[in-house]
Amino acid sequence: MPITSVTSYVSTAAAVRQHWQSVNAARPTAPVILPDGMTLADFIALENGMNAAFDVIPAAAATQRQNSAALMIARNAFQPRFVKFNQAVRLYLSGTRFADAAPKVPAVAAGEEVFRDGARALRDAWADIDAATDISKFSPPLVLPNDNENGAVNYTLAQFNLDSQALMDDFSQEGSATLTATQKRRDRDALLPAMYAAIKMYRDTLILLLPKDSPLLETLPRLTPKAGTTPKPLDVSGVWDNVLGKARFTWPLWAGKDGEKLQVRGCLGAWKTEDEEIIADLPLDATHFETDFGLTAPGAIASFKVYIVTSTGNESGGKAVKIARPVLA
């Protein structure tokens, strides 16, 4: 399979290694050595290093997804505290000097700074209310309904402070997991130019060394797909299905030639080819797919492509479809 994407480097390198082994077996007294001195053993070492870099990414990406989902769940749980506080201020403190104490409610998907500043403003206002001695018809402290306990009125400023710190911890853990996954991908990507150059040099060397009618030239792995073999991409549409609790994708039946399979890939947030992960392989006659990849929490966003992979080693993914799971009302 030629190189068509980041993920295809593994299979292309494996094909080159196997071909190199076959060539050396056919030339036992003259093993192939590339112009820069690279031997088969050197290539295998390069391949092993690249594969090792690929191998650590799934676990890092899974941890990133888990922490991203945990953070979104925490946001969904914490944001209503602002709503309850503001409702209580309007109900109990209308007409007092605290009537304008209600802070702005952050969006569920807001960033760390927005939540941190909002929590600080709410905490300061709540502390002022609890310390007040001049409020008629209301006796501090302010205590709110606790949605985590079926609405029991026992949610205090102290609990809010604990929940606020827990949310900041979730932001920190998600940020750390994202940095780790990003660095793992960068480590992988840093190895790809050397592999590309080695494969290209191997091909150029074999074309020079072997006779034009050599069967080994016929099986020489390609570096890039043959011109004109890129399949027409599928027209994929996707929506979030509240009943299924998953994103649902549909597309017309593929009617091209040389097809091998369909492959669904995805990533968190907006589409980034370097972040794509293989979610599933599908038969060519598939016309729909459902998944909660990257979307296990309300407010989460993930992007997807459905690739056509051909038997000639080419592929086409078309436009990415971004899915935003609705925030709980």
Report the domain count for the chain.
2
Q: Tell me the pLDDT tens digit for each residue of 45-90.
A: 999 999 999 999 999 999 999 999 999 999 999 999 999 999 999 9
Do 180 and 58 meet the contact criterion of CB atoms below 8 Å apart? no
Query: What is the extent of the structural domain holding 107?
Result: 1-224
- Out of 224, 249, 274, a domain closes at 224
Beta strands in 164-320 (DSSP E): 237-241, 246-250, 259-268, 277-282, 288-291, 301-310, 315-316
CA dist 261 and 310 (Å) reads 7
Residue 234 burial (CB count, 10 A): 23
Same domain, residue pair 188 and 50? yes
Same domain, residue pair 209 and 231? no
- Out of 224, 257, 289, a domain closes at 224
Same domain, residue pair 217 and 231? no
The length of the chain, given as a count of residues: 329
Question: What mean pLDDT, rounded, does the chain reach?
Answer: 94
| φ, ψ (nearest 5 deg) of residue 154 | -145, 20
CA dist 99 and 105 (Å) reads 16
Do 298 and 215 meet the contact criterion of CB atoms below 8 Å apart? no
- Out of 202, 224, 246, a domain closes at 224
Q: Tell me the pLDDT tens digit for each residue of 246-268.
A: 999 999 999 888 889 999 999 99
Same domain, residue pair 317 and 187? no
pTM for this model (two decimals)? 0.87
Same domain, residue pair 231 and 293? yes
Same domain, residue pair 195 and 136? yes
String of DSSP letters for 201-230: HHHHHHHHHS-TT-HHHHTPPPSSPPTT-P
Same domain, residue pair 213 and 274? no
Tokens matching residue 62: 């899974």
Same domain, residue pair 200 and 244? no
Same domain, residue pair 144 and 60? yes
Q: Which CATH number is 299's domain given? A: 2.60.40.10
pLDDT at 329 > cutoff 70: no
